[in-house]
Structure 1
Amino acid sequence: MGVFIGMLFVYRSGAIRVTPKFQRMLLAGLVGVLVLALGNMVLGFFGIDMGLRSGGPIAIIFSLVCIGLAAFSFLIDFDAADQMVRAGAPEKAAWGIALGLAVTLVWLYVEILRLLSYFQND
C-alpha cells in the first residue's frame, strides 16, 4: 500500500506528469519484460535457465525493474481515472479503472514477495 499511496502523492503533486512519451516508454518497458519472461519460460522448456527467477543477481535486478514498472503503471491508471472524471464518463465505467488498479496492485504485490523470497535464508 505504501507504493500505491506514494505514487498517488507523486501523481497528485504533479512531480511526474503522464505524457504520451511517458506512456510509450512505460509500454516499451512492459513489452520488454514480457518478452524476457516469455523467452525465459520457453528456454526453460529446453532446460536453459536465463536466471530471471533463480534468485541470483540477474533475478534481483529483473524483480526491481518489474517493481519499478508496476509502480509507474499506477501513474497511468491514475491518469486514466482522472481523464474519465474530467470527460464526465458514466459511473458504471468506473469498474474498468478499478480493475486496472487492482491488477497493477496484485502485480506489484507478487513482485515484491518474489524479491523478498530471494533473500530468504533456508
Structure 2
Amino acid sequence: DTFYDGIVLQAVVATFGVFFLMAMIYKARIIRATPKFARIMVAIIAGLFGVMLINLVLALFGVNTHLRDGSPLAIGFSLVCIVVAALSFVLNFAEIEEGVRMGLPQRYSWTAAFGIVVGLVWLYLEILRLLSYFQGDD
C-alpha cells in the first residue's frame, strides 16, 4: 500500500470475492471435483510450481524471463495463476465434503482449513501482483 495507494484493499476484496464466487459455483454443482479434474489440477499446479521455481533460480542469476515484470507475458501468467488458484478451491471444498460424508474425526479439519488458507494466500498474492502491473508510474 506504500507503493500503490489502495492496492491492498482492492486485492483483499477481489480475493474474497473470487473465493465466495467459487463457493457458490461449487454449491450449485456447476463445477465438480471429478477424479479427472483433480488429476488435471494437480498436474497444472505442479507445472506452475516448476515454472515459478525455474524463474526464481534464473532471476537469482540475473536472467529476466519476463514472467514477473509487468509485460503482457507477465499479465497472462498472473491471469493463469489466478484461474488455477480459484479452481483449487473446488478441490478444497470436495475434500471437506468427502471428509464430512465419511465421518472423518474433527481433529483432521485443520488440513482442510490449511488448504483453503494456502489457496487464499496464493490467490491474494497473484491478484496483488496483477493489480501492481496496472498501477501507473506517476
TM-score (norm 1): 0.96
Q: Report which structure shows greater RCO (CA 8 Å, sep ≥6).
A: 2
Q: Is residue 94 from structure 1 mapped to residue 112 from structure 2 by the alignment?
A: no
Question: Which residue of 31, 37, 41 corresponds with 2:46?
Answer: 31
Show structure 1 runs of 5+ residues with no match: none
Q: Is residue 58 from structure 1 mapped to residue 79 from structure 2 by the alignment?
A: no
> Aligned partners of 2:110 and 2:58: how far apart in 1?
37
| Structure 1 consecutive aligned stretches of length 4 or more whose deviation exceeds 6 Å | none
> Aligned partners of 1:31 and 1:95: how far apart in 2?
23
Q: Shift of the alpha carbon at 1:41?
A: 1.2
Q: Shift of the alpha carbon at 1:92?
A: 1.4
The count of corresponding residues between Structure 1 and Structure 2 is: 122
Question: Which residue of 40, 44, 49 corresponds with 2:59?
Answer: 44
Residue of structure 2 in register with 1:72 after alignment? 87
> Aligned partners of 1:6 and 1:44: how far apart in 2?
35
RMSD of the TM alignment (CA)? Answer: 0.8
> Aligned partners of 2:49 and 2:116: how far apart in 1?
19
Q: Shift of the alpha carbon at 1:45?
A: 2.4
Identity of aligned residues (%): 50
Question: Which residue of 107, 121, 135 corresponds with 1:106?
Answer: 121
TM-score (norm 2): 0.85
Show structure 2 runs of 5+ residues with no match: 1-15
